[in-house]
Structure 1
């Protein structure tokens, strides 16, 4: 699935992503500042998160409650030095929980990822819009 969108279309974009029935583990790829966290915040809202959302840059993971006692986990592995740090924080428990897992900088934990996941590549275009590819 490919979508070109502007930030004022982010709600509709998030709805399209969820409606496309991706795997519950989604890897977000893109340059720093391209809007990965902004899109994840909107995806959380689309899934029913009522709490304020923020980037887990320093905490590594933020946990949000959604309806039906389910959860959304938002990871940001930008600051980890090796996969052992992710293992020490229990990343495997999160990844195999059956809940939504949105992962930024997943290349830092490449060997820990389960076999099945969706990948979302996002790129900033010259006109300020984003090109999104969901695989």
Structure 2
């Protein structure tokens, strides 16, 4: 599926993504710095009913939120991760295989730890500030 959108349409994009039948709960996000990964994840988290103010977990590696059902939603920013071993030591695999939503920025930092059965979102910035999103589920 491919979507082209502007940032003021991000809430509708989040709704469309979450409406994908049998959408996998582990989703990796691939894009250059500043392309809107965190902005899209914030919209997805909001759409899941998270009341907390979501932000990028740049310094903590993971933020945990609670959705409308009281289930955890995890947002990872692995940019500052030094090694896969560091991620493994923090128990990242337990998050990934928990059955809960896991939104992962910079997944290329842990290529051997990402579950094989995951969805992937790629975002490209287009002329005029629009974004082109491709999702593979």
Count of matched residue positions in the alignment of Structure 1 and Structure 2: 135
Aligned residue in 1 for 2:30: 29
TM-score by length of 1: 0.98
Q: Secondary structure at the match of 1:121?
A: strand
After TM superposition, the runs of 4+ consecutive aligned structure 1 residues lying more than 4 A away are none
**Residue deviations 1:41-68 (CA, integer Å, cap 9, x gap):** 0000001100000100000000000022
Aligned-partner Cα distance in 1 for 2:31–2:114? 18
Aligned residue in 2 for 1:14: 14
Q: Unaligned stretches of 5+ in structure 1?
A: none
Q: Unaligned stretches of 5+ in structure 2?
A: none
**Residue deviations 1:63-119 (CA, integer Å, cap 9, x gap):** 000022211100000011110110111101101110000000001100011120000
TM-score by length of 2: 0.96
Aligned-partner Cα distance in 2 for 1:44–1:66? 8
Aligned residue in 2 for 1:2: 2
